[in-house]
Amino acid sequence: MFRRLSLLILLPFLGLLLAPITAWTHGGGLDTYGCHHDRKHGVYHCHQGEFEGRSFASQAEMLAARPESSTTVPPQVPTRQFSGKVVRVLDGDTIEVLHNMRAVRVRLSGIDCPEKRQAFGQKAKQATAVLVFGKDVTVQTFGHDKYGRTIGDVILPDGKNVNQELVRAGMCWWYRKYAPGNTELAHLEADARGSKIGLWSDPNPTPPWEWRHRGR
């Protein structure tokens, strides 16, 4: 009887010892890409899917490596949120928010505004400044990009989503490569394009990712 009881007590510990090493050396479950943030090694590592076995500096770096034809669309769920006053607008899609006495640089998620030297680049920056500068906002975060910027949706005190408002005003593109499943941004861009407002008044606007690729 004592021997049987001892075996029952030991069984859970034996299971842990026999479990695959990767199950407990890496923290966190897999996302819909089949990857996760490996806290032990400080990388974004893929166990399944198109990048199985590969590691990246961040999820943003992995997304940049995906082909445009990729159909994997994960749900975008904020990892956390914080609030603070907007103290600086660097360009149309990058701001700084004062939080805990520190200016946090935020790259607005799912959108890409014209670069400052592009047509509508300065107008996009001004539009963002009008919306957020000096205001207390809430940032819903989605991790960080390869430059260390916080990726997030910026929410105004009245509940409006700044990312969406900029697309609605024709001041930026829906950045479909990094937000392929964001149907709201897709619809807002289509409406702005159809109404020829903002940058869509140009008969042939150049997407900023193409402009950057040309080394401008």
Active site residues: 107, 115, 149
What would the two tokens of residue 65 be? 């490596």
* 150-155 and 136-144 beta bridge pairing: antiparallel
**Chain centroid, CA 71 distance in Å:** 17
Measured in whole angstroms, the distance separating CA 115 from the mean position of its chain's CA atoms is 19
Secondary structure of 102-140 as H, E, C letters? EEEEEEECCEECCCCCCCCHHHHHHHHHHHHCCCEEEEE
